[in-house]
Amino acid sequence: MPSFQIKSKNDYLKLVDEVSEHDKHYYEECRPLISDYEYDFLLKELERAEKEHPEWKVAYSPSSRVGEGVSKGFEQFAHERPMLSLANTYSEEEVADFLKRVEKLLGKTGIVYCLELKMDGTAISLRYEKGLFVRALTRGNGKIGDDVTSNIKTIKRVPLRLAGAFPETIEIRGEVFLAKKNFQQLNRQKEEEGEEPWANPRNAAAGSLKLLDSKEAARRKLELVCYGLDREEKELFSQFQMHQRLKKWGLPVAAKEHLAQAANLKEIMAFADKIQKQREELPFEIDGIVVKVDDLRLHEQLGATGKSPRFAVAYKFAPERAETKINQISLEVGCTGVITPVAELEPVLLSGSTIARATLHNQDEIERKDIRVGDF
Ligand code: IVH
C-alpha cells in the first residue's frame, strides 16, 4: 500500500500528477501499473485532501471526472425507469399530512398502506433478462448508475437465475447493507490499518460497492434485501404481496415480522413504535420505516414530485441523542467483579424515557474522550 501523507499543496499536486498518470495507463493504455485497490486508495487520498483543503483543488484534478453519484472506474448504464428517493417525515403530524395528501389526490378514503423497514444501506437495481442476472447498477444520479455487477455477485444471496415464472426482463430494486457486526469489524480493521473508519454502515456499504477489487468487496460480506420492481407485474397488485413474489423468484426479502399492512395512522404509528423498540436488537441498522400505498395500480396515478414518488414516504426515527450535564462519575462493581464507571446525569428525556445514568464503559474510554464531571 502506498504510504505517504499529504501535508502541503506541493504534496497534493504530486498526488494529482500521480493519479493522472495512473488514469492514463489504465484508460488509454489499458495497462495499469498498480492494483485497482491501490488506485482506489490514491483517489480516496486525493479526495480527502481536497475536502480538507478546498483551496488547493486544481481544475484538472482527476477527482473532477467523478460526476455526481457516478464514479469512474465503472461502466455506466441507464436505468430502465429512474430510481427515485423518498421524501422524509419526522413526526406523526407529517405522516398524517402524507395520508391526507394521498387521499386527496386519489379522491377517496380507505387506502391500505404497506409498511417496511427503512434499511440504512445503499440502493441497488438488479437486472434480469430471461431470468438470468445480467447487471447491477447503483442509483447514481437516478437516471444513470454505476455497473457494480462483479461486486454484487459476491453476495451469495443474489440469485444468478430466477426461480419459477418470471417476466422477460425485469429490474429489481433493493438495498445493499452491512450487518452491524460486520460494520464494526470492518471499522476495527480500518483503524488498525491507520485508516479513517466509516461514519456509518450506509457509507461503508456504498463505499464497498465502489471498490474496484471484487475480492476486497467479497471480504466486506455485503447483504441484500429487495423491496421493489421497476414495472407492473402480471397479477401483482399489492406492494405487500410483492415481497412474496420476490421471495418466490429466489430473492432475499425482509422478514415477515418486519412487514405489515395498515389502514390508518394509528396502525402505522403502532408499527413504527414496535420497530423502534426492536431497533437496538436488530442485526442491521435502520433509520425508520417506509410507508407505501399498498395498491400498486395507484402508484402511477399518484406520480412523483421532483425526485420522490407521491405513493411513499419515509418516517424517520428521531436520533436517539440528548444533551445533559454529568453531575458525578461513580464506580459500579458488577457481580463478576468488573468495575464500570457510570456517569450520573442531570435527568433528561430521551426517546420517551428519563435517562439519569449512562455507562462510560472503562477508564480508557474516559481518557480517550476526556470525560470530566461538569461536562455536557
Ligand atoms: S423504496 C421510490 N423502500 O431509502 C422509492 N427505499 O431515501 C424508493 N430505502 O434510495 C425506494 N429501505 O436506498 C424503499 N423499504 C425501503 C427502503 C428504501 C431503505 C432507501 C433506498 C432509497 C432511499 C430513499
CB 95 within 8 A of CB 291: yes
Tell me the Ramachandran region of residue 255: left when phi exceeds 0, alpha when psi lies from -120 to 50, beta otherwise: beta
Burial environment of residue 280 by CB neighbours within 10 A (0 to 12, 13 to 18, 19 or more): exposed
Residue 89 CA to ligand 1 center (angstroms) comes to: 13
Residue 309 CA to ligand 1 center (angstroms) comes to: 11
E strands in 103-168: 113-119, 122-129, 132-138, 144-146
Does 328 sit in the ligand 1 pocket, CB within 6 Å?
no
Residue 173 CA to ligand 1 center (angstroms) comes to: 9
Q: Mean pLDDT, to the nearest integer, of 74-91?
A: 91
pLDDT above 80 for 353? no
112-162 pLDDT, tens digit per residue, is 999 999 999 999 999 999 999 999 999 988 999 999 999 999 998 899 899
Angle at 178 between CA 62 and CA 124, to 5 degrees: 60
SS3 of 207, please?
Answer: helix
SS3 sequence of 321-345:
CCCCCEEEEEEEECCCCCEEEEEEE
pLDDT above 60 for 215? yes
Q: Mean pLDDT, to the nearest integer, of 282-309?
A: 93
Which residue among 122, 242, 259, 290 has the greatest number of ligand 1 atoms within 8 angstroms of its CB, and so is best to mutate? 290
Residue 108 C-alpha cell reads as: 377517496
Does 120 sit in the ligand 1 pocket, CB within 6 Å?
no
**What is the dihedral angle through the alpha carbons of 102, 103, 104, 109, rounded to the nearest 10 degrees?**
170
